[in-house]
Structure 1
Amino acid sequence: MTVGNGMSEMMKLESVLVHPLGTAAAPVPEMLCIFRMGDLGHSLGQRLLQSGYRVVYGSRRPHSCGPLPQGAQVMNHAAATQSGSLIFICVHREHYEFLETMASHLEGKVLVDLSNNLKKDMYPEANAALLQRLVPGAAVVKGLNALSAWALQNGLLAGKQAVAEVATKLGLTVLDKGSLSAARELEDFPLQLFTEWRLPLHVTIGLTAFFFFYLLIRDVVYAFVEQRKDISFRIMVSLANKVFPIVSLIMLSLCYLPGVIAAFLQLYRGTKYRRFPDWLDRWMLCRKQMGLIALGFAFLHVIYTFMTSLRYSVRHKLISLVVDEVKQAG
């Protein structure tokens, strides 16, 4: 008992000497590993360092790689894997072979696959699925592949949780898309065209069709039924020119309306740091597209107005020439 008490007293003394203010030792920041020192790897490492993590790069040539972010380290792949349990794979699919040779070093690690393809359906198997097959002892998570290096600068529950915590500390919003069966969808996501244009285009097509058929019935069909006047020749120019300014003004109002709603919502909540509802968030994201469509329809209105004026001017000149010839002949 005496020895035990003496050791206890010495431990207390050591604690006092090491922490004279009685504070606990500061926790050591988690070490994260990044394979490949490219633009994306450099930007990701810099962002991780700014978020309080330690970063080590795995490289085939650790002594000849480019400049590192301040505070980062570089080692060979085998040594780097021993430094952390979470590894970001910033490697193209065609270079995955070396990971298979390191399967024993990657046992139990969480591998975040950031790869993308140059076009859709480029390979029969998703990159993340291939990586999981090559390194079966690791937990592969598909994520962060929709982020660019520029943006960074300015089921596998444990693996997902680890990646989600890192992404949250980076200031990102995490969306769980399920198992690796959804990896192909994520890999094709950066290749999608007009992702924010779909809603504005659908709204525009709906409004254009509604007002076109409304004016067609009101101006053309009604005139033919009630007055027996055939003015169908006006459909392509005069009638269309009535639709363009209407749709343009509505799309312009839809461009600015979500900002007003968002402002009132923030005032009501008393904070600007809460997320908007999904419908408002989606609406806010496509405001620019709605504004561009409004500008395009306004431009079409100008062109059609010019064409209408030119047509009437030409018709007036032709009528004047005919009248003059008739007078001369008489």
Structure 2
Amino acid sequence: MHMEEKTECVSLSPLGHPTPSECELVCIFGTGDLGRSLGQRLLQAGYRVVFGSRRPHNCGPLPQGAQVKGHAAAAQSAQLVFIAVHREHYDFLESLGPQLKGKVLVDVSNNQKKDLYPEANAEYLQRLVPGASVVKGFNTLSAWSLQNGSTDANRQVLVCGDSAEAKQGVVELATRLGLSSLDRGCLSSARELEDIPLQLFPQWRLPLRLAIGLTASFFFYLLTRDVIYTYATQGKDVSFRIMVSLANKVFPIVSLIMLTLCYLPGVLAGFLQLYRGTKYRQFPDWLDHWMLCRKQLGLLALCFAFLHAIYTLIIPIRYYVRFWIGANIVTQLKENRTSEFDNTVAWRSDSYYSLGILGLGLFVLLGITSLPSVSNTLSWREFSFIQSKLGHLTLLLCTAHTYLYGWDRFLRSSSYRWWTPPGYMLCLVLPTMVLLLKLLLISPCVDRSLSRIRQGWERGQSGGPAGAVGTPLLL
């Protein structure tokens, strides 16, 4: 009676594998966090779940509605088996060859570090159980992402295997769970998939190196100008400035440079297309890689801008500032004099702060719209308007903010300590250049030529576009 019931519930696809139905049974070897989360997700999708455990009567709490059996009994009852155990515990699977023959084994394991074993875990599993069809998949999902369902951003399942039918069954199951899937080829690709969870911020490496390099360079540059110079020429110890004053000079400099680096590759790409007279030639690898990490550059720039804003807010409560203000008041009382109000300085300081606040506000807007949950709700035109037009406006406001900070100090000889320019002057070179080049690109004659190229026109071509209209770059 039980076997007849099972036959009625499970329907086979033309490929010979079970199609998702309300009572299809799936087996999971492993009762750890990932195994339990996967079982809970399968139960929510309408599957029946049986766990295979070496201790079926003492394996901890399992999702409500799931069964638990020994490995052999669990494997015998299901066509698709998830292997959610560590590679070092795979040995028991070799003895289950008869029960696993003809079954689909989904290997979800990962390693602690790269190149830990001479072959991929999935390839090793296939060698242990040659009668089964091994598919590598679900290893890039965490227990947390499975528990949070479709609300989590990590929803893609990468699969690979030598059996097209087995992969199709896993893809159908992933779709039933509300996950997208991507076929990465044969089982020989399993090592690449197993290395993905071990990557540490792969898209952030270049931006982080730039941020660390710029921070260290300007820190030691300003340390030499502000602290070492004062001690060497006047004998004063102003090393206390390192913690706040020096940091509050370094952070805005790094922020402005990294914001500029978000828009410099787009400008370079525009001039490169004008020079080549076509959009159908690939950009150099270094430019492609640079453009792919603009989001990370922008978010790091926003982080430094926030630090600058916070450091600026604490200036009035610093001991040094309060001491200096008190001493200045006492000095004026003793000398019976009063400083007159300077309208020019008032305009300059208010404009400086106003541009800084507006720039930070737009900076935050750029950061928010770069989040997938927000950008997915925007049309391409809306996203382009915010990231390109408002992005360049942000760069303009931040650059003007820095110019107002410097004002006329570049005319004073005292600003060039040991014949070196102030840090803010150095950081203005790159954004000024980018803004001028962008102004040239949006001039009517240049913009008209660039727009034609991006619509498919090629130099030397008298007819219409050579191909479909390409997606515009965020310049």
Query: What is the TM-score of this pair, normalised by structure 2?
Result: 0.42
Shift of the 86–296 alpha-carbon distance from structure 1 to 2, 3 Å rule, reads same
Rounded to whole Å, the distance in 2 between the matches of 1:170 and 1:91 is 21
Selected match of 1:60 from 41, 54, 65: 54
1:187 counterpart letter in structure 2: E
2:300 counterpart letter in structure 1: L
Does residue 164 of structure 1 match 2:171?
yes
In structure 2, runs of 5+ residues without a counterpart are: 1-20, 149-161, 215-249, 265-291, 316-408, 418-475
Contact 1:248 1:294 (8 Å CA) reproduced: no
Selected match of 1:41 from 30, 35, 43: 35
Shift of the 203–166 alpha-carbon distance from structure 1 to 2, 3 Å rule, reads farther
1:296-315 correspondence runs (5 A)? 296=304, 299=307
TM-superposed CA distance for 1:173, in Å, is: 1.5
Rounded to whole Å, the distance in 1 between the matches of 2:111 and 2:185 is 20
After TM superposition, the structure 1 stretch with the greater mean CA deviation from structure 2, 86-95 or 146-155, is 146-155
Contact 1:248 1:297 (8 Å CA) reproduced: no
Deviation by residue 1:185-212 (Cα, 9 ceiling, x = unmatched): 111111111124257569989xx9xxxx
Residue 180 of structure 2 corresponds to: 173
Shift of the 56–82 alpha-carbon distance from structure 1 to 2, 3 Å rule, reads same
Rounded to whole Å, the distance in 2 between the matches of 1:61 and 1:241 is 57
Deviation by residue 1:204-241 (Cα, 9 ceiling, x = unmatched): 89xx9xxxxxxxxxxxxxxxxxxxxxxxxxxxxxxx99
TM-superposed CA distance for 1:149, in Å, is: 1.0
Structure with max Cα Rg: 1
2:143 counterpart letter in structure 1: A
Rounded to whole Å, the distance in 1 between the matches of 2:206 and 2:179 is 24
Contact 2:255 2:301 (8 Å CA) reproduced: no
Residue 75 of structure 2 corresponds to: 81
Does residue 292 of structure 1 match 2:303?
no
Count of aligned positions:
229
Residue 197 of structure 2 corresponds to: 190
Residue 214 of structure 1 corresponds to: none
Shift of the 297–253 alpha-carbon distance from structure 1 to 2, 3 Å rule, reads farther
Secondary structure in structure 1 of the residue aligned to 2:180: coil
Deviation by residue 1:12-37 (Cα, 9 ceiling, x = unmatched): xxxxxxxxxxxxxxx65211000011
Residue 5 of structure 1 corresponds to: none
Secondary structure in structure 2 of the residue aligned to 1:104: helix
Does residue 104 of structure 1 match 2:112?
no
Does residue 146 of structure 1 match 2:140?
yes
Rounded to whole Å, the distance in 2 between the matches of 1:113 and 1:241 is 46
Contact 1:30 1:53 (8 Å CA) reproduced: yes
Selected match of 1:133 from 109, 113, 127: 127
Contact 1:251 1:293 (8 Å CA) reproduced: no
In structure 1, runs of 5+ residues without a counterpart are: 1-26, 209-239, 255-281, 307-311, 319-330
Contact 1:251 1:294 (8 Å CA) reproduced: no
1:87 counterpart letter in structure 2: V
Contact 2:251 2:305 (8 Å CA) reproduced: no
TM-superposed CA distance for 1:78, in Å, is: 1.0
Rounded to whole Å, the distance in 1 between the matches of 2:67 and 2:137 is 23
1:161 counterpart letter in structure 2: Q
1:20-31 correspondence runs (5 A)? 28-31=22-25
1:180 counterpart letter in structure 2: L
Query: What is the TM-score of this pair, normalised by structure 1?
Result: 0.59
Secondary structure in structure 2 of the residue aligned to 1:45: helix
Identity, in percent, stands at 58
Rounded to whole Å, the distance in 2 between the matches of 1:67 and 1:299 is 46
Rounded to whole Å, the distance in 1 between the matches of 2:308 and 2:258 is 10
- RMSD of aligned alpha carbons: 4.1
